[in-house]
Amino acid sequence: MITGKYPSLRLRRGRKNDWSRRLIQENNLTPNDFILPIFVIDGKNKKIPIKSMPGVYRYTLDKLSYLVDKAIKAGLPMIALFPYTEKKKKKKNLTGTEALNEDNLICKSLQLIKQKYKNEIGIMCDVALDPYTSHGHDGLLNSGYVLNDETIEVLVRQSLLQAQMGCDVLAPSDMMDGRIGRIRKSLDKNGYQMTQILSYAAKYASSFYGPFREAVGSKNLLKGNKKNYQMDFRNSNEALREVALDIKEGADMVMVKPGLPYLDIIRLVKDNFKLPVIAYQVSGEYSLLTNGIRNDLIDKNVIIESLVAFKRAGANAIVSYYADRLDKILK
């Protein structure tokens, strides 16, 4: 590999001037690298701050056009929709039936955006029941255990409904065994051969999801933890097995989540499988990066450094809560 030695070889020659540093850059960020999560909530003309995520809001549907307009102008390839489902309005229950309601927030958002923007931007939706269950788990619960096969039946219906409403990329984030194959089969059978599946293949049971659970209103509801379905953060071989299975079952892309503490997993997956890998810089990471730093300039540089790390590790794109402020960050 090394083709010379000091003093004739000096790596600092390449770093001396700005033009040269730019010339030899290996990784960089463009708007194409970002997926913007959007939290939607019932009501009118509201933009509600999420306490643990400064700068991130829940929006009512009448604000969607404004957000999507901005995302398209910024050049983002895709948004990801997440619903805040209100317990007060009795929309949460044990089995998360609101997930299958054709008039739920996600279905309404999908129709609205698709009708207006066609294929100008991709729309991704989570496939999981946690915004809709009274216990905050991603699937059906039986004495504290999340049932696999029974949950898949509901997820297949949730997926089909979202595809019918215009979802471009279904993103099962539930970690049930075998769900990708079942979802693919049902999509194909019903005429949705071109709907993509982005599998949260390596999703860890993480303590970095806290602020997101506040954002979707499942935080205080969650009974126990998600360790009987999401992965143990001590493992990496297991992530490769998960990814291999999901690819076999028909995943078009895979997600590694959380982000920064799992760069090793991104690299492993990228080296072992040649398919698009998406990283999710999750809510807890966002809160840490955003709360810890005040000075504007440092703020921006820290954020860029954290985001470029994903590209260096091999990610094709990043789900990031900063994606709506790229004009300020990347400029």
What count of Cα atoms within 13 Å lies in the side-chain half-sphere of residue 227? 7
Q: Which of 126, 147, 125, 128 is nearest to 136 (CA)?
A: 128
* Site for ligand PBG contains 128 (CB under 6 A): yes
Judge whether 203 counts as a catalytic residue. yes
* Site for ligand PBG contains 39 (CB under 6 A): no
Q: Which of 203, 226, 270, 311 is catalytic?
A: 203
Give whichever of 130 and 168 is closer to ligand PBG, judged by the CB atom. 130
* Site for ligand PBG contains 158 (CB under 6 A): no
Among positions 126, 168, 249, 324, the unique one binding ligand PBG when judged by CB under 6 A: 126
Give whichever of 173 and 195 is closer to ligand PBG, judged by the CB atom. 173
Binding span for ligand PBG by CB under 6 A among 2-10, 43-51, 126-134, 142-150 = 126-134
What count of Cα atoms within 13 Å lies in the side-chain half-sphere of residue 73? 9
Among positions 209, 229, 310, 322, the unique one binding ligand PBG when judged by CB under 6 A: 209
What is the pattern of x (binds ligand PBG, CB under 6 A) and - over residues 254-273? --------------------
Give whichever of 179 and 226 is closer to ligand PBG, judged by the CB atom. 226
Evaluate whether 259 touches 279 at the Cβ level (below 8 Å).
Answer: yes
Binding span for ligand PBG by CB under 6 A among 124-132, 157-165, 246-254, 261-269 = 124-132
* Site for ligand PBG contains 85 (CB under 6 A): no
Least separation in angstroms between residue 252's CB and ligand PBG is: 18
Judge whether 257 counts as a catalytic residue. yes
Evaluate whether 18 touches 31 at the Cβ level (below 8 Å).
Answer: no
How far is it, in rounded angstroms, from Cα 41 to Cα 210? 19
**Active site members:** 203, 257
Q: Which residues bind ligand PBG (CB under 6 A)?
A: 126, 128, 130, 138, 173, 209, 212-213, 226, 282-283
